[in-house]
Each structure stands twice: as structure tokens, then as C-alpha cells.
Chains A and B, each alone.
Chain A
């Protein structure tokens, strides 16, 4: 399953994004991919929700994949060692 956010992942957009992620997980798909090409900015809520998605998938030995991650966001996630938990592909 692929989820494509249309803009930044910040506090205001996160609740909706979260529902979409849930729907994606509930399809039973082992791997959920987030297309990050439109995301220029991500805040702590955004990160949290991504991690929550990963945690959920991990329970069913699934995996979260981030595609097309903007460079600065990618570096930060790497610094946070998030690349150890999910697959992060830079733009």
C-alpha cells in the first residue's frame, strides 16, 4: 500500500495522515510505503506518527518504507537513527 501525503507532515495534518496510515495498515498489507516527495517539512508529531506506523507494522513483521525523502529531512532521520527502524530512501 502506498500513502501519499500532499504536503508537510505537521501537527495540523498529522491526525488525517494518521487515519490514512491506519487504513493502509488495515488492508493487511505487510509493507506500507509513504511517498514523501511533497513533504518539505516534518515536525515532531509527524515523526511520531511515522514511528507509530512502523511500530504497528512491526507487530505483524511488517515494514514501513519512506520514499523520496527530502535531503535535510533524510539527514535528520539518519541522525536520529530512524533508518535503523524503517527503510528511508532519499530523493
Chain B
């Protein structure tokens, strides 16, 4: 029966939570030290159980009292070395403490729980034995924090002092300042004697000095006090600042004071007795270990546990209740208080300035308030920050239980536990992280025999690493297990129909592994107790998405898996894109946003299409489903009339509705989907149509490309506004069922804007990725396959209107228009003055048999940079940049300076080989390279792996001219087959990264794993130039990373690599 008020109970629960906070780690640490008991640690746990018991007795919580009592008994035996903490005893203790925690969380109903099982299990461990005998032993020395001896107290006295849950305090008064006529030291001593036992008193007379030292400031007055008073009260009762109250940690068994700490600073102080110097060393070591907790768990046969009732591991819910209170460092609060004070001052100033209508003061005040607000924001944010160790620390237990259960051996390494994250994120991370860790142990780490057979350490390693990077927190879960087999994932995905065969063919290993994030895919061969409970990676991903996080998986079969999670530091204030739809402003979190897209009216026709009954946009070879925000939210679409600035209703039914080429009503039927008829029927007059904005530039479509989980889509909005940092306010209860919103925020003008929940909107639009993209995926695949293979950026130009030429855009430095009279002819060479020097000019017709450039008033000059020198190609316009699917015919029109031909925009186009042209015109420019060719003696053999015919020919062409012997392969797979068949095929590999069947990274990984090939230098030539790609490249072992296509740099890189190859 509970007889106390709720406040007291709440305090008790709070305190008990604190006590239980570190219990798990401590118990595990006790297990680790085995027979070599760390008394300090056992004591700590013992005391926790003891305090909980004491409180429960006071509160009338019988069940909690009983359970805590039994736990205390067992711990007492461990402490007195009557019992060695074996793993099974530890398991019983752990489950006991779990139960205790649950009881405390449900304190009011705790007596209704059935804890009999735990009680008997604990009881059977602690068969009472003879109590330890107290013999006559030397007195216990008590020292002050600086190590000066203060008292010698008998052991008996000390033991009495800690009897019955009493605490030992060392109080430091100052005879000179703490006392007045109303409060003499004598009063204090009387006071203390009534509050508990006064064990010893000492005036540190030596601190006073002599008659010649002047009157000293402090006369330390030490009191050793034993009391049941909690540390919270001691300061008030004895009127002493907590900095001068030290709680002693007395070890009854060893008969010495192990440590004491000031309650004010809560810092473990230097230790007391000289004989405990070693203990100090241990404590220090322990602290280091906490930073990088290293726990190794021996696998124990499961049947051992049958002997002890309930010691087995039961599936345990790790879900914790969100905490309702938070501990904040006092200095932080002080800081906040100061800032609040500043704010009040500024407000007063503001009011004054307003009354005085003084703008200069007003400006200053505004600046001040701005400053204070930012600082206040940062400080308050700090109060929400919690170390990720709060979750990490659960894992030693999880890993221990799991690995024992599965008969595996796993070593857990925690790094970066001190990294801080917002409280909300920390709480939300719990489940996904637990799932990932479970996965790693269950599916990742192999059984000890398997590991031994694979030549690995039978003890697997699991690392949890947290670190800051670029304003985000990264968490990595790294195991050295079996890794994920991409083919296996793919097979499951195919079986479940999540991907099609064609899709699969084009997938890289990375993408295949990524499939496990799709709902319903689990690669576990059997459903174990641990994983495979129907909660898959998709849930993890969804959870992380909610936190604004991103997850990526990197796995090497046989070597392990690395899972990376990127998280924002906080969720309370987020950078957002503000958009307008239907005259209302909405905020879209930038975390969900990939890019902004504005499709000009003229391109709507080409870029936006209907697939099935949905609109899609073409974006770099992919089809992106579109969702109109106004439709989803059922608000009126609007646009701003560019002439009047008034907001008008937008009548377009579908995004793909567009104007026809001519703003002419007769051509109406050309418009698709009959949109215009509808409009006509609505009775709008012809005038209306003429002013219809579909004929104006204003009819451009604004798209926010967003990502949620596996799905990306385009959100069509009326207007794109600014990017702003917004403060997230939760929605009221009455709006909770609106799944399209994640919250609300208040804008600078005081109006409320809703925050779009990108995932919710996709659900509302029924943008289920599977069914919806079925058809889109098909179209996309066609696009993508062409795109991946042979799409190139080309620059087309002419000599005469009927002969079109093209060069790769990458090679062109600049395009200039020049007037004919600027061209000078000197010594048979045409030049122009260009940027302070003479730029030599040439025409294609100088080299190739093409029609000569007709005399014109104005020419176009394409400036190239070759061998560090610039040269201009004289041509006629129009110059056009196209991005085309290219099939180059390498034979029909081939001639000097022309590498082949292709059809571009319906015209046969000659591909200019600019290097060939220069070689013919200016052979001396290549002398240097020639020299290399001769010096290299026997020619270096290069294997060129490139899926694009065009680039393959280009690169192999200049490699051969550079004096190398070149073999080619069309993708990673072919290259690998060639190499594994003949390891001496090449001295050096030049490879593209993006290729079908097997990409460049994968090829390099394979090469590096093959003992015969791993020394081969590798040069990558790719358009993928992101930092991530370059890093991945370095990781897999690429020596030189070259961006397509700079011949100079590439040749240099190759010659560097070739030198390396020869040395090897």
C-alpha cells in the first residue's frame, strides 16, 4: 500500500533510475573481472540495490523491497568473496535488475507483478554462510582531499558508521567564517550529533600558521560524520556549501576509505589512503575503459543455464520510456540565466527606444537582441544535447546476451560515446541501432568454427563508432563478419518481385545490397529469436528518416559490413525551403530536399510526361514521379499574374498540360488529354485565352525534388521562396490526423506555415513506390540503359551549313565569336590576338578532306588546350551543345582528324579528333611524349575498361599514340574474365567507374583481392567526381583518380602509374 504523496514517489523513482543507470555496465564489468573482484564496483552496485531497497521500505513498495533485498544479498556474497561471479550468476543478476527496473517504472502497480521466479532464482544463489569475522585490525586512516591525514578511526567505528544504509561524510568547516555568536562551533557539534554519529573532529591547526604569519584566513575544521541524511539535505541541514561536503567511500572488507568526492563538484577526487594508490590507478584505468568500453564475452554452452531457474536469456524489450526530466549542468543553467537577464535588459532598452522613437538606439538594440537570441538558442540547444553513450552503453549487454544465446563470440568496441546529439534523436535512435546491432551479430558475425575455417579470429569484432562530420553526426556499425552477399539479396528480391530481371542486370553490387532496405526482405536463412521478427531494415530506414537521418550499407562478402548513419544534430530548428502553393506558404525540410527544378514553359513539353495516369518529369535520364502539392492538400492552384501582381487561379488540370507550339486556337486539338476543350467548355471567352498564362514565361513549373526513404519524387508548387531556418512547433491535437504535415512554424511576419511531411504527402498521393513505379521503372530503365552506356555531351558546329562536326564538350576550353578582320595571317599561319597573346587558328579542312570554311564576316573559335598550349579551331555557327545517345561509326567517314561519324539530331555528324588534328598540324607539340615512348623500352601493356564505344576509342587512340600497348574490355565483367584468365595480360589498368554488369569499384576490389593481380596500378577515368566517389575509389585501391576527360592529366597519371608498374 502506498501511503506517500506522488511528489515523493516521483522523486524516489527518479533517484532509483539514477541508481540503475549504470548498473548494467557495472554488472558486466564485474563479470569480466571474475574472481578478481573489484570491490569498488561491487560496492557501487550493492549500494544501488541497497538505496532502492531503503526507499522502497519507506514507500511501502513491498515487491521492489523484496527484489532489491535479494539482489543485495547476492552482491553482498560476491563482495565478501563467498561467491565468484560466473556468467550464469551474472545473468540472474541482470535479469533481476531488469525486473527491478520494470517494477520501478511501474512503481504504483509494482506489487501486482509476479516476481516469484526472480526471487527464487536469486535465493538459490545466496545460501547463507557464516558472517565474516571482524578482528582487531589497525585503525582506518581518513585523509583530506589533498591527501593529508586527518583522523585515525577504528574499524569498528567505521563499520558502525555505514551500518543501516548510513553515509559517511567528511565536512569541512571553517572556524573563522562559518561561525557567528549565534552559531558557535559548539552549536554545530550539537546539531551534528543529533543528526547522526559524530565519528571524529579535527581542527587543522597547522593550517593556521604561527604568530608571525599574521592572522590566517582559514581554520579548517574537519568533521567525520555518519548519517542517514541524503546528500541532497546535508548542505541545508548543516549550512555548509556542498563543495566542502565529501562523501566517503568506505570499504568495510578492506578496511579503508577508497575514495571521496565533493558533492558540489561531483568529481572523483584524488584518493585518500596511501595504501590505495593502486586503487587510484585502477580507477583511472577504468575511466579510460568507459571511454572505449571493451567487453569480451566468452561463449558459454546454453545448457549450463538450465541449472539455475530463470537465468536464461529472455527476449527483453529494450524500448525505454521517453524520459520526462533531464539533468542539466548547473553552469549551463547559470549561463541561461545570464542570457535571460541580458534579454530583459535589452527589452527595457527596446521599450525606451520605442518611446523615444530613436532609431539609432533602436538599431543598436535590435542588434543586441539578435545576438542574445542566437546565443540563447545555442545554449538552450546545449541543454538538450546528450552523449550518444547513453544508448551505446546498452549494447555491451545486448551483445553479451545475444552472442551467448547464439553461441558466438563477439568483442564489442565503442568509440566516440561522448559525441552529443539532441535528446529526441538519441531516443529515436535506440530502436534502429538495436536492430542493426542485432543484425550484425545474428547475420553478420559467423559461428566460431566458421570463422576459424575462414582464417579469421574466432572472436568477431563489432565496432560502434560515432563522430562529428560537417555539422552532422555519423554513426558506424562495423562488423568483421560474413558480409552481405549481393546475389543472395538480389535472389530474394527477385523472388519477392521487388525488382525485375532487367533491373537486376544493370545493378551494381552496392545497389543490390541496398535492396535489403525494401520492405519484406530478410536474408536470414532461418528466423531466429533475435532477428527475423518481421521488423526489417525498411523499418530501420523509416525510423531514421523520421529523425532526418540517412543510412548506407557497404559490405564486402567474407570481410564484413559497415553501416553508416548520418544524423542531424538537432530537430528543433531545421533549415527549410519555403514554398508557396495556393497562396499559402509551406516549409519543406532541407534534409528531405535534393534539388530545386524550374522547368521553363518552353521545355514543359519535353520534360514532363504522363506515364499511366501520373505525371513524371525527366531528370538526367531518370523519370521522377510528380505530385502537385495543391492537389494533395486540395487547395486552389494559383499563380501571380506577372502584369498586375495579383494572385489568380491556375486552371491547369495536369502538370503535363502545356501550351501548344502556336498560341493559336485552331491547333487546340494538338494539346493532349483534351485540357483545352475543357477550358473552352467552361465558357471562358477568347480574350481570356489570349491572356492565359500558359502562353507566358510565368507558366514555368517549379518542382522541389524530395526524397523519403527509397522514394524520390517531385513536389510541384506554385512558387519557390527563400531558404530559412525554421523553429518546429508541434501541431495541435486536432490536427494530428493530418498526415501531410510534420508540424508548424511561425514565419518572420508572424504568420503560421505548415511543415510538409514529405513521406506523408507521398502516402496521400498514393505514391507507393512499388506499384506506382512499375511502369515508370520500365521507361526509366530504357532511359537509364541508354544513358549509362553512351550518352555524351557534344558540341556541334559547322564549316558549311550541310556539314556538321562535333567534339566532346569536355575538351573545349572556351567558345569565342570573332570578326573576320581580326584574323591576321603571318608566315602562313593564321592567328588572332587573344588575351594578350597570339592564338594560332586552324580549320578542319587543313587536315581532313572536308568542305573549306567559306569567307564570312564573323567566325566562331573553339579554344582547346593541348600540351599546355592553346589553339583555336575556326568554324561557323550555329554552335550547339547537345547531350545525346551516341553510336559512333568508326569506319565509314574515318580520315585524318576525323575519328568517325554519328547521327546527331537527324544529321550525319563528323566527330573531330582534336588530338589527331594537332598531331598532324603541330607534331612538335608531342615531342615530349614521343621521348617517353622511346625511353620506355619494351612497351607498357594497358588494359582499358570502358563501356562507352566513343570514349574507349578516344582513350585507346591516344594511349597507343602515347606508345602504350592497349587491350580493351567493354565492362568490369569482361575485364575480370580476361585478367583472371591471363594475369600477365596488362601492367596497368585504366578503368571507367560506371559500367553495366560490374562497375569499376567492384572490378578493383576483385583485383585487389587476387594475389596475382593486386600489385597492378589502377587509374580510374570517370565522370563521377564527388568526394564520396573519390574516397570510395581510394578505399578500394585506385591509384589515380581522373575526371573525364583531360588527356594531358590522364597521360601524366598513366605515365606515373606505368613507372610504378615497372618498379613492381
Contacts and interface: CB of A to CB of B under 8 A. Distances in A.
B205 A51 contact: yes
B259 to A, nearest CB: 25
B186 A52 contact: no
A21 B211 contact: yes
B560 to A, nearest CB: 66
Nearest to B217: A48
B203 A52 contact: no
Contact of A80 (B181, B185, B206): B185
Interface in B404-423: none
A43 B205 CA distance: 15
B351 interface: no
A81 B185 contact: no
A52 B189 contact: no
A14 B186 CA distance: 20
A55 interface: yes
B186 A48 contact: no
Nearest to A82: B203
Interface residues of B, number: 24
A44 B175 contact: yes
A48 B174 CA distance: 11
Contact of B208 (A25, A52, A59, A75): A52
Given A44-B175, A44-B176, A55 B205 contact: yes
B219 interface: yes
Contacts of B644: none
A37 B192 CA distance: 29
Contacts of B179: 43-44
A21 B181 CA distance: 24
Contact of B203 (A22, A45, A81): A81
B181 A43 contact: yes
B1059 interface: no
A25 B211 CA distance: 9
B215 interface: yes
A53 B189 CA distance: 25
Interface residues of A, number: 27
B833 interface: no
B216 A52 contact: yes
Given A81-B202, A85-B205, A51 B219 contact: yes
A49 B176 CA distance: 11
Interface in A1-30: 14-15, 18, 21-22, 25
A25 B215 CA distance: 16
Given A18-B211, A76-B184, A80-B185, A44 B203 contact: no
Interface of A is mostly: helix
Contacts, number: 73
A56 B206 CA distance: 10
A52 B211 CA distance: 5
Nearest to B151: A81
A91 interface: no
B212 interface: yes
A20 B184 CA distance: 26
A44 B185 contact: yes
A51 B205 CA distance: 6
B695 interface: no
A45 B185 CA distance: 12
A70 B221 CA distance: 22
Given A52-B208, A52-B210, A80 B215 contact: no
A79 B189 contact: yes
Contacts of B176: 44-45, 48
A14 B213 CA distance: 15
Nearest to A73: B186
Most chain B CB atoms below 10 A, which of A48, A59, A82: A48
B264 interface: no
Contact of B216 (A25, A43, A48): A48
A54 B211 CA distance: 9
Contacts of B189: 76, 79
A80 B211 contact: no
Interface string B167-179: 0000000011101
B283 interface: no
B185, B189, B210, B213: most-surrounded residue (chain A CB, <10 A): B210
A56 B186 contact: no
B210 A72 contact: no
A61 to B, nearest CB: 14
A80 B221 contact: yes
Nearest to B178: A44
A15 to B, nearest CB: 8
A67 interface: no
Contacts of B208: 48, 51-52, 55
B211 A76 contact: no
A21 B215 CA distance: 13
B185 to A, nearest CB: 6
A76 B213 CA distance: 25
A81 B176 CA distance: 17
B203 A55 contact: no
B680 interface: no
B309 interface: no
Contacts of A85: 205
Contacts of B672: none
Given A72-B186, A76-B186, A80-B203, A48 B219 contact: yes
Given A43-B181, A72-B186, A81 B201 contact: yes
A34 interface: no
Contacts of A82: 203, 205
- Most chain A beta-carbon neighbours within 10 Å: one of B179, B202, B219: B219
A87 B1047 CA distance: 100
A47 interface: yes
B164 interface: no
A44 B181 CA distance: 10
A89 B721 CA distance: 91
B209 interface: yes
Nearest to B187: A76
A44 B219 contact: yes
Contacts of A72: 186
Interface string B213-237: 1011001010000000000000000
Contacts of B201: 79-81
Contacts of B210: 52, 55-56, 59
Contact of B185 (A52, A56, A59, A76): A76
B175 A47 contact: yes
Given A55-B206, A82-B203, A48 B175 contact: yes
A56 B209 CA distance: 8
Contacts of A79: 185-186, 189, 201
A56 B201 CA distance: 23
A40 to B, nearest CB: 13
A52 B202 CA distance: 16
Q: In this complex, which of A21, A55, A59, A75 has the most chain B Cβ atoms within 10 angstroms of its Cβ?
A: A55
Contacts of B205: 51, 54-55, 82, 85
Interface centre among A44, A59, A76, A82 (most CB of B within 10 A): A44
Contacts of B211: 18, 21-22, 25, 49, 52-53, 55-56
A48 B201 CA distance: 16
B215 A45 contact: yes
Interface in B697-748: none
6 contacts: A44-B175, A44-B177, A47-B175, A56-B211, A80-B185, A82-B203
Interface of A: 14-15, 18, 21-22, 25, 43-45, 47-49, 51-56, 59, 72, 75-76, 79-82, 85
Given A51-B203, A81-B203, 14 more contacts: A21-B211, A44-B175, A44-B176, A47-B203, A48-B208, A48-B215, A48-B219, A55-B208, A55-B209, A56-B212, A79-B185, A79-B189, A79-B201, A80-B185
In the A-B complex, the 7 residue pairs with the smallest Cβ-Cβ separation, listed nearest first, are A56-B210, A44-B175, A51-B205, A56-B211, A76-B186, A55-B210, A51-B208
